[in-house]
Amino acid sequence: MSRMIYRIKTSLSRLGIGEWRAVDVVTRSSEYFFVKKQLDTRRSKDTEKCEVTVYVSREGKKGASSVTVTPGMKPSAIDSLISDAKTAAEAAMNPDYAQPDPKRGRRDTGSRVIGEGESIMIKALFAADRLRTARLNSAEMFFEESSKRVVTSWGTDVRWTTGTVKGEFVVQCKQPEDVEMHFRFGYDGIDPESLTERVREALEFVKDRAKARKILKSGEYDVVLCGNQIPEVLSYYASRSNAAMIYPGYSTWKPGERVQKAAKVKEGGLRGENLTVKLLASEPFDAEGIPMKDTLMLKDGRLKNVTGQCRFCRYIGVRPTGNFSKLECVSAGSMSFDDMKKRPCLVTVAFSDFQTDDFTGNFGGEIRLAYLCDGKKAVPVTGGSVNGKLGDAQNCLVFSTDRYRTAEYEGPYALLVKNVNVAGTDG
């Protein structure tokens, strides 16, 4: 038993707390900060923290409260912190529920990213930085390997490892206008090809942003969403099918029901696709110690499975699955990205902030860079905003055959949505 877990169990016993969960995370990390192609700062650190959740059950009710314990804390400080958590749990009682089934095991499936992986990904970051007109201005990279352990009073004791590479970079083009664009990236493990392609694409984008014009007129457009915008749109379906949304009545979805309007052919000969979406287990267990496995969420537009944390799954009578942080759009895609751009449309590649409302399905954001396509040429534009309604558009969603992968998403790179409202720069 780790020293941290031992100290916490001793404190819980001393305070007479019989129902609890401890999530201990030991992380080894390396951080790199670059200015242009030169390494400016490098840091390495090892950290440990343990989230302790205290449960109080009585008279058909259960309350819970969490606190974080660190290695440097004295026993008296740990006692005080956990005692405060017990008091908070007693003040926040909800209907009682059964805890997850106890599990025991160890899975060392996490990718090794520190060491050789660092040099591979750093090389990949700068591999595409070869243009004269645009360049990488700065970058930050974070390599993390974590050992995680969940121990509970009801018999769970599971351990596993994870490895991630995350960061962001700034690209710059000075002519005809000096502009910068920020991009983020994240991968489960080492993926040099995807990172190099991400930088190459960003350098092309910033070149076009430097010459983009504010000529976008207000109206309805066929909009092509790209990259990270796709999982943001699809997150609407993941949120609405989560037990935490269904139990309080925010979502009325039930397994077997059609939750996407039936796909059909619309004007211009576009044939919509029925959504098939999986939730992917990026880690073998979740923070409650529930074993995670890939789960089919939607099949041909119908809800197949409700997912979520133990409490809300128990409330609505479904098997607890844990909370997922990654999804895969299995829909095959029926048109290449290049063919999408050959149609009259607006291709949005960068927003200042792109969001989808989990309650309404409305999506949008302010445009930093888009391409106004007339079927023959693509003109870079900036300014204005996209204001779409997934409920109106979901029976004609057309995905690209081109694929895209990040730590949160796998699937088509682009999504064509018909008749989206766009507020232009024409006043």
Q: Tokens representing 62?
A: 């259960």
Query: What pLDDT score does 1 carry?
Result: 59
Segments in the chain below pLDDT 50: none
CATH C-level class of 3-211: alpha beta
Q: Where are the domains of the chain?
A: 3-211, 219-423
Q: Which residues contact 76 (CB under 8 A, 6 or more apart)?
A: none
CB 293 within 8 A of CB 281: yes
384-399: string of b/e by CB count within 10 Å (b at 16+)?
Answer: bbbebbbebbbbbbbb
Give the helix ranges, DSSP H, for 155-308: 192-211, 229-240, 243-246
Query: What pLDDT score does 326 carry?
Result: 96
CB 275 within 8 A of CB 240: no
How many C-beta neighbours within 10 Å does residue 49 have?
A: 14
SS3 398: strand
Name the burial class of residue 66, with classes exposed (0-12), middle (13-18) and buried (19+) by CB atoms within 10 angstroms of its CB.
middle
Give the orientation angle of helix 3-14 with respect to helix 75-90, to 10 degrees: 60
3-state secondary structure 159-191: EEEEEEEEEEEEEEECCCCCEEEEEEEEEECCC
Going by C-alpha positions, the residue among 163, 66, 171 that lies closest to residue 109 is: 163
Query: What pLDDT score does 112 carry?
Result: 87
Cα distances from 386 to residues 225, 239, 343, in angstroms, run 10, 22, 18
Name the burial class of residue 43, with classes exposed (0-12), middle (13-18) and buried (19+) by CB atoms within 10 angstroms of its CB.
exposed
- How many residues are given for the chain? 427
Going by C-alpha positions, the residue among 140, 224, 146, 143 that lies closest to residue 184 is: 140
Rounded CA-CA distance 143/125 in Å is 13
> Following CA atoms 9, 14, 17, 23 in sequence, which dihedral angle do they give, to the nearest 10 degrees?
-20
CB 309 within 8 A of CB 292: no
Query: What pLDDT score does 265 carry?
Result: 67
